[in-house]
């Protein structure tokens, strides 16, 4: 399970996004609960042992599963820009990294390429939400025919990217025309027509 291809091909999609958004209030509570974990040196952060303990609380325990949780923790971490000044960030999980942790842990604990990742995350989150929040997971309904907010955002991003690409092509054509015109003004007018 490599870093970026997993994100782009499995995690960053509308189904996973809708699932996380539908359960955002539970995820906030889980993150707050994790920050108060007994294994953290600093009670304002989430460390790897907090994640391993959380998995143990929902029945994912044992040496192999602890290794999977440690691997999921490590793979879900973002790059640290100034490693010397911010070394502790390697050991402290941010909220956005927790979302990726659940995705990676789901992929490791429920193997099988043919099961969509959002269904695996749904299974794992259902257990975590039940144990930590004493609640029931919210399953987003995608069959109502209404575009989700993330669908709309995706369209906006795609439109912006296309406009940027078109503008880049126009700018490049204009630059070439000006270069050609500077070299030979008469030939440039004939070539571009």
More confident residue, 114 or 164: 114
User: According to the model, what pLDDT value does residue 39 have?
Assistant: 54
For the entire predicted model, the pTM comes to 0.70
Torsion over CA of 56, 11, 119 and 146, rounded to 10 degrees? 140
Nearest residue to 18 (alpha-carbon basis) of 101, 138, 157? 138
Tell me what pLDDT residue 86 has. 74
Using the 8-state DSSP alphabet, how is residue 138 labeled?
A: P
The candidate with the shortest Cα–Cα distance to 137, out of 12, 14, 34, 19, is: 19
- CA 109, distance to chain mean position in Å, is 18
Residue 146: pLDDT band (50, 70, 90) is very low
Mean pLDDT of 74-93: 81
Which pLDDT score, from 0 to 100, does residue 186 have? 64
- Rounded Cα gap, residues 4 and 9, in angstroms: 8
What is the average per-residue pLDDT within 176-192?
68
DSSP state of 23: T
Rounded Cα–Cα distance for residues 60 and 72 (Å): 13
- The pLDDT of residue 24: 95
pLDDT band at 78 (very low <50, low <70, confident <90, very high): confident
State percent of the chain over pLDDT 90.
Answer: 44
Query: How sure is the predictor about 92, in pLDDT bands with cuts at 50, 70 and 90?
Result: confident
Lowest mean pLDDT among 24-33, 85-94, 96-105, 130-139: 85-94
102-106, long-range: CB within 8 Å, 24+ apart, which pairs? 102/128, 103/6, 103/10, 103/11, 103/16, 103/76, 104/1, 104/6, 104/71, 104/72, 104/75, 104/76, 105/51, 105/55, 105/60, 105/68, 105/69, 105/72
What pLDDT sits at residue 101?
A: 95
At residue 97, the pLDDT reads: 93
pLDDT > 70: percent of the chain? 78
Compute the mean pLDDT over every residue in the chain, rounded to the nearest whole number: 82
Q: What is the reported pLDDT for 159?
A: 61
């Amino acid at each position: 399970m490599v870093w970026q291809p997993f994100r782009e091909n499995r995690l960053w999609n509308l189904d996973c996004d809708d699932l996380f958004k539908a359960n955002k209030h539970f995820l906030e509570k889980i993150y707050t609960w994790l920050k108060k974990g007994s294994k953290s040196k600093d009670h304002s952060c989430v460390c790897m042992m907090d994640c391993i303990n959380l998995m143990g609380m929902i029945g994912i325990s044992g040496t192999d599963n602890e290794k999977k949780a440690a691997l999921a923790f490590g793979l879900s971490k973002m790059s640290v820009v100034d490693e010397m000044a911010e070394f502790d960030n390697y050991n402290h999980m941010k909220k956005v990294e927790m979302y990726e942790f659940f995705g990676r842990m789901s992929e490791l604990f429920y193997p099988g390429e043919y099961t969509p990742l959002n269904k695996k995350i749904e299974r794992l989150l259902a257990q975590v939400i039940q144990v930590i929040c004493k609640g029931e997971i919210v399953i987003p309904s995608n069959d109502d025919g209404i575009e989700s907010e993330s669908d709309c955002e995706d369209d906006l991003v795609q439109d912006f990217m296309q406009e940027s690409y078109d503008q880049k092509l126009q700018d490049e054509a204009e630059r070439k025309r000006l270069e050609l015109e500077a070299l030979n003004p008469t030939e440039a007018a004939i070539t571009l027509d």
